[in-house]
Every structure is written in C-alpha cells, then in structure tokens.
Structure 1
C-alpha cells in the first residue's frame, strides 16, 4: 500500500469535514424522511413513506465501519456512497465480542451494563456509532443496524438477559434518529439461539415502534423460514450468498436445491408465496471482487456483471430493493488490518469499482415507472425461457413491461399483457443507464434481441410501454 496515498486521503478527509455544510448545500442532498417515516405499502410488497412516496432500497454493505473507521473516513465514505446513489448503509455495531474500534475504545467495557457508558470528555465506542448514524443522516441515507453478528450469539456470548439489556440500550439510544432500520440476526440461522434473537427483537420493538425491522440470515437462507409470523418482522431478508452453481464445498447445512446456488430469484418467489405477505429483498448477494465460495483466494472472483445479474434478478422477481456488497468495502479494508477472503484493495478504491457504480441505474429505472402496481410476471415471456444464466426475468405494471436478459438471448414478449393497441420499445443498459429506442409495434407477440450479440454479461433490460405513456422520455 502507498502510505503517501493514505496521507493524502486523510488530508482530503479533513478538507471534506471542514467544508461539509457548503458541499451538502451545493449537492442538494435529498432528505427522504421529510416524506414521513418508512412503512410497508398497502399491498404488502414494497416500502413507502407516510406521504405515499415510494422508497426503493439501494443498500451498500459496510459491516465493519464502526470498528475500522475514524471520523474523517466516515465523512468520506458517506459522501461517496451518497454520490453512488445508495440510500441505505448496512453496518454491524457489535461484530464480535469483545469489539474495539479504530480509536482503541471497547464496545462493552462493563459487559452488558450500559449505565455509565458515556463519560464526560471521552469519545467512546458508541459515540463513534452515533457519529456514523449522524453523518448518514446529514447525507440523506438510512443506517441498517445489525445489532450483533451471528457468531457471538451462536457461541453463547450473549444470553437472553444480555440481549434484553443490549436491546434496551440500542433502542433508547437510537430511536430518536429518523434514519434507523433495525436488522436482527447477522449471517446466522434463525433457529440458532432463537430465544436470543426474539429477546433482542421484542425488546427493541417495545421501546421503538417507529423504525422498520428485519432479520439478516445465513447464506442460502431467508428470514421467512423462521420469523414471517412475528409482529416485529416488517419485511423479509435473504442472503443468496457467494457460491456459484454446484459449488457446495462440504457445507453440512445446505437447504436449497442442488445447482441453484445463484438463482436468488427463487427466494423471492418462495417468500412472496407465504402468508402473511411481507416485502422481501436480497440483503447479501455475491460481493464484487470476492472469490467464488469465499474461502479459496485463488478461485475466480465475482465481477460487475455478476452483481448486476443478482440485483436485476431479485428486483424483477419482486424484491422491493437490493443490497450491493464489495469484498473490500464490507470489511472496510485498509492498511493495518489483515484482509479476509483474499481482499487486496483498500475500501476507498473499491467504492469506485464498476459494479458499485452501476447499481444506481437499477434504482433510477425502478423509480421511472408507476411503482406500486408493479408485479413479477413471467407469462410475458412467450417463448421457451432459459435456465441459470439464460433465464430472462420480467416484471410489469399496467402499461409497461421490463425484462432483464443477462445473455441477450432471443426473447419473445407477449405485449398484450399490458394496455394499449400500440407499443413502444427501448433498450436500457444496466452498465451505464443509457436508453436506445427500438421502435413502435402493433399489439401482439414480438421477438427482441439487442444487436450487440449473444454472451454472458452482455446484459440488457428491454422496456416496452403502451405507446400513449411517456415514462421513458420523462424519467430516463
């Protein structure tokens, strides 16, 4: 690592801190909670604000931000993450027990007794978490707080009574902030120490009923399995994980069908078929630049086209948003910390990688069309669909169709599924958000393929609308 570069970045961080008010004013930061607090939509599929404005969750993963960042780095991270189009940052406030932050302060100096946690003149562990939440607030972003990672719970480092004390502390400390989303769990199954998860969730919910709550499960599992009936669970989350097709590598617990490892859309379909219906999203798909299967650093790495595929597959299958992750950013890798999973670059380089930059085009696309009447609908694909990478996934509203095609295979669309005797069609690029007009068509079935040819990662979104609407012209 070039330490001159690090020093330069730290100077830049300080400059950002000193001029943050002017920068935020000039960049016209959107403050979403001015539309009211987040709630589940009336149709139980999406999130919205109290005034009815839709909220498309676009998450960035920074699990170790509380333990590996200083204030200047938090400032820089929040500013760049907002510029990249994200509106949620997922962090883990107690990733291990014990836990220490970059300033050398312990999270639990007195165990789970928080009575005297704040001392005059001391900038402690939790004040740094406060700083993260406040900087996200000033940047117009939500913080998804994973309260405790699954490892300490699985190893019984947190009892039910500890969970109640900790939940009370968290809820009383952070309920005042408008940008909090509670995430119970932390890469663990819901039936591992379930009494601890329940105690943590219900304690927080009893004190703070104004913020949404979910559960982040282990790879290849979904919260629907254990908690869908719980009143504290507002929406479901799944972790599709980091394995490629037919990559099991000795996992003893593998609760999905063989050779479907990358089919994250299956979790969405499963969850939306369960009653009571609750919104769902992929809270941890394959990270950009992480080895296939995680543990072998010499394995192939997931690339930008892979993270795009996971995002569009999940959302078009019915998710209300999506969380992106990068190998280096999720662990906030920087000099002085040992890398996990073969990560090499510092996080301040990783946040400029292509996949990280391209997620904003998904959010832009989904908010360009009538939001709440959108449903997944594979019946609009009228020819034989493909499997695995060749699966085309479609979603539609009353007067528009969106179809994501990862390989640009020839696809026939039944345009009668939406209104209008005439239809217009466009190609939308998930790589750069560009739009190109295809033409106008009579109602019926029509075959489409982009002229760039067939191939994995040559992904496109086909947009078809009633010829009388102007969503593409007005919003894209």
Structure 2
C-alpha cells in the first residue's frame, strides 16, 4: 500500500511538472495563469540571452520586476548576428549553424536567465528564433537555416527542454510576415507542431506569433490553427498609429481569440525611423499606445525601449541611433509608468471587461485626440489622449449612483470628481489638456465601494 501511495504521489508530481500554467479564459478574451486573470505587461528584451552575462541579466530582470513588468520577450537565436556572434561567454547557439545540433553551453545560459526570471516573479515570452533565420531581409543578418523538417526538430527540442518551466509563453515569428508564395507558413507551422508535440497537445501549451506591422496581426495567417492561442500585433514606431482599429478588428473576428500588441511604439526610438525630421519618441507616445491598446480590447500590453531591446552597451554596434546604454535606459519615464496601467487593470474585475465606444458621444476622434472607452459590468474607464472634454452616455454600467474620479497615467494619482445619478448624459472635463496631458476617467457603481488603484 505504501509503495502504491508513493507511485501515485510520483505520478501527481510528474503531472504537475508538465501541466500548463497559462490558459485562455472561457470567454476567449483573456489569459489566465494558474486559473487566475493574468495581466501581460511585456518588455521587448530581444537580445537578452545573446548580449548579457548572468550578473547583467540578473540586474535587468530584478529591475523590470520591481517596475511591475510581468513578461520579458526574448529570442534564443537572436537578431543581431545571433548565430555567428557568440554570447557573453563565447558560446554560439548552434553547432555549425545546424538547428538539429543545439550547443548545450549556450542553452545553459538561456536556462539560467529563464530560471532567474521565475525567481523574481517574471515570465518569459520565448521566441525560438528571430525571423531572419527563415528568410533574410533588411532586419537581421541571417543566414537562412530553417526548413520545415529542421524547424520541427528545433521547436520540439526547445519545448522538451523548457516544458516543465511554469513561466514560459511561446512566441513564434520573430518579427516576420510570411511571404506570399514561399514556404514560410509551412516552416512556422512545423515549428509550432514540434512545440505542441513536446508538450503533448495544444491544450497544454500557450503559443502565438510575432509579426511585422500589418492590419490583421498574426491572425492573417494562423487565426484558425489549433496551436495559435492568441493574436499578436506589431504596430511599429510611428506616432498616432490607429492601434485601436487593429485591436478592435481582431477583437470582433469570428473564432474568438485574445489579442495583444506585442510591439507598439518604443520609448526613445527615432519616430518612423527618421529622427532628423520627426524627432524621438517619448513617454507620452508610449502611454497613448498602451492605453488605447487595452481600452480597445487587448488583454494586456507590451512596452519597448530602443536602447534596451538591443542591450546597447560600450563596444556594441548601435542599431538606429540609440542614445543611452541599457542600464540607464531602464529608468526612462514610461518604463516607470507602466505599473499605473497594470494597477488600473487589476483594480477592477478583469474578465468581464469589454471595449465600449457607445459610452461616449465623441467616439470616433482621430488618433491625435482619441477618446477610448472600456467597461465592466459595474465600472468604466475612459481614456482622453489630450485631455479634451467629452460627454458620457450614463446608464451603461450598473448602479443608481456613480462615483467619478480622474486617474493620471503619468503618476497614478487620483483626483475626486463627485457622485452623479446614472442617467442621461454627463460632460466631463479633465484637469488639464493639450499634448502630453492624457487622463483616465474612472466611473464606478457607488454601491460596489471599489478601492481606487
């Protein structure tokens, strides 16, 4: 009997080790971790495994954890000559650039970083490879090493290695859109098949795809694939992008799947890659993108910094004119402001939140002065990008009386407005207006007595 008890216990432990931490919510709008709502607050640290030694990686991860991030997006076969330029310890990822012959020394370093992330409470959005290893173009240096056969082998090998880590979400794609008439889709599907096979089924692993900017995100190619769990966009690095339209289009698509922007406009990046004429992005650009993302229906959001994704440091080759070394750039304003949006999301019931532009009369303004609304059953958030006045159609949430407050995305501070009847229409004027003066109106069913974020 004792031997049987031990056998059952061992089976339970093994099952738990291979159980998937991340799942899609029953309404197909959100991500859960261990059956609780999970807020994706991502950072694009693409070169993390390739560029940093263990002390530096530990510093980076600890800092991002303290700033409220939850997901670090990083690439095993990295962008900046990730095959032929060794990591901080002189190790390359593959033997003879053969995806069927991974270099154990290199992946032990990847192991360390993934485990350190878990230790400080972070998850890894793990990209097996940057896309130029499937086809070379102006981003990345290749060489092209993947076909459908070895892509499946490599995907399965990586998934076998990491399937027992509880902090992994898989991101295929590596900043590439599959080319028309090519084998690209077949190769990516083969890699996904390898990952799924290692886990033992689609229901045991969470996978998405990181594309270049387009209108439909990764759903353009993979929306109905069984392995494809949520849609991911990249909206690029130009100001006043219509992020909300892309998110809304995905949100309304049949065969419902959660959606997130995995690479919106970066902080400290040349605007549209043209700093000379258009300048460099700032914290306000980042805030506007991430708030519009979430209020339009995204289940979370990603931040990025131009100096950090490439881990710009002394002696490294700069890409597109970074200004700061990565350690200094970790403290840029928007990086310290993402926690306020995270706090806002977590302060009210998450799983019943929906986008709802019918809350506001001025519901179709341009990107520059966009007003975007989201609500749950008994609360609403309305983002005003330039602090202009707007009119609310009351009665959209429960409650005879509504408590109204202003929330400042720059510092998370709350300003009381008052209590109002939940009928008719009501005009609200933010405390300040103009470029860089963004505000969120919080409306709550007074009977719920919600605590402010």
**Corresponding residue for residue 219 of structure 1:** 213
User: How far apart, CA to CA, are the structure 1 residues paired with 2:128 and 2:273?
Assistant: 24
Q: Alpha-carbon deviation of 1:139? A: 0.9
Alignment partner of 1:233: what SS? coil
Match of 1:201 among 187, 192, 205: 192
Quote how far apart the aligned CAs of 1:439 are: 0.3
- TM-superposed CA distance for 1:471, in Å, is 1.8
308, 313, 319: which one aligns with 2:292: 313
Residue in 1 aligned with 2:386?
A: 407
How far is 1:466 from its partner?
Answer: 1.2
Counterpart CA distance in 2 for 1:174 and 1:74 is 19
Higher mean Cα deviation, 284-293 or 375-384? 375-384
Deviation per CA, 1:131-160: give whole Å up to 9, x if none. 110100101111011111111211343122
Q: Does 1:451 align with 2:431?
A: yes
Secondary structure of the corresponding residue to residue 395 of structure 2: helix
Tell me how far 1:113 sits from its aligned partner.
Answer: 5.9
Compute the displacement of 1:49 (Å).
2.8
| Aligned match for 1:111, one of 94, 97, 103 | 97
Change (3 A) 1:379 1:207: same
> Of the candidates 142, 160, 168, which is equivalent to residue 156 of structure 2?
168
String of CA shifts for 1:98-126, please: whole Å, max 9, x gaps: 352111111112433656843xxxxx211
Q: How far 1:174 moved relative to its partner? A: 0.9
- The reply to whether residue 346 of structure 1 matches residue 325 of structure 2 is yes
Q: Secondary structure at the match of 2:447?
A: coil
Q: Quote how far apart the aligned CAs of 1:383 are.
A: 4.1
- The alignment status of 1:355 with 2:334, answered yes or no, reads yes
User: How is 1:42-441 mapped onto 2 (pairs within 5 angstroms)?
Assistant: 42-51=26-35, 53-95=36-78, 96-112=82-98, 117-118=103-104, 124-155=105-136, 156-191=144-179, 193-208=184-199, 209=201, 210-221=204-215, 222-244=217-239, 262-294=241-273, 296=275, 299-383=278-362, 385-441=364-420
Q: Is the 8 Å Cα contact of residues 99 and 108 (structure 1) preserved in structure 2? A: no
Contact between 2:268 and 2:323, CA under 8 Å: does it hold in 1?
no
Unaligned stretches of 5+ residues in structure 2: 1-16, 137-143
Give the drift of 1:295.
Answer: 5.2
Superposition deviation, residue 267 in structure 1: 1.3
Which residue pairs with 1:249 in the alignment?
none
Within the alignment, does 1:40 sit opposite 2:24 as a pair?
yes
- Residues 116/203 of structure 1: CA separation in 2 closer, same or farther (3 Å cut): closer
Cα distance in structure 1, aligned partners of 2:218 and 2:84: 27
TM-score with structure 2 setting the length? 0.89
SS at match of 1:440: strand
Distance 1:472 1:389, change over 3 A: farther
Q: CA RMSD in A?
A: 1.8
* Cα distance, 1:428–1:149 mapped onto 2, change above 3 Å: same
* 1:202 counterpart SS class: helix
Give unmatched runs, 5+ long, in structure 1: 1-32, 119-123, 246-261
Q: Secondary structure at the match of 1:471?
A: coil
Q: CA deviation at 1:39?
A: 0.6
Query: Match of 1:472, SS?
Result: coil
Q: CA deviation at 1:470?
A: 1.8
Match of 2:125, SS state, is strand
TM-score with structure 1 length normalisation? 0.85
Cα distance change of structure 1 residues 289 and 117 upon mapping to structure 2, 3 Å threshold: closer
What is the deviation of 1:244? 3.3
Question: Does the CA contact (< 8 Å) of 2:362 and 2:371 recur in 1?
Answer: no
Aligned to 1:22: none
Change over 3 Å in CA distance of 1:36–1:150 after alignment to 2: closer
CA offsets per residue over residues 13-68 of structure 1, 9 Å max, x none? xxxxxxxxxxxxxxxxxxxx9x97111000000011343x2101000110001111
**Count of residue pairs brought into register by the alignment:** 418
Q: Secondary structure at the match of 1:356?
A: helix
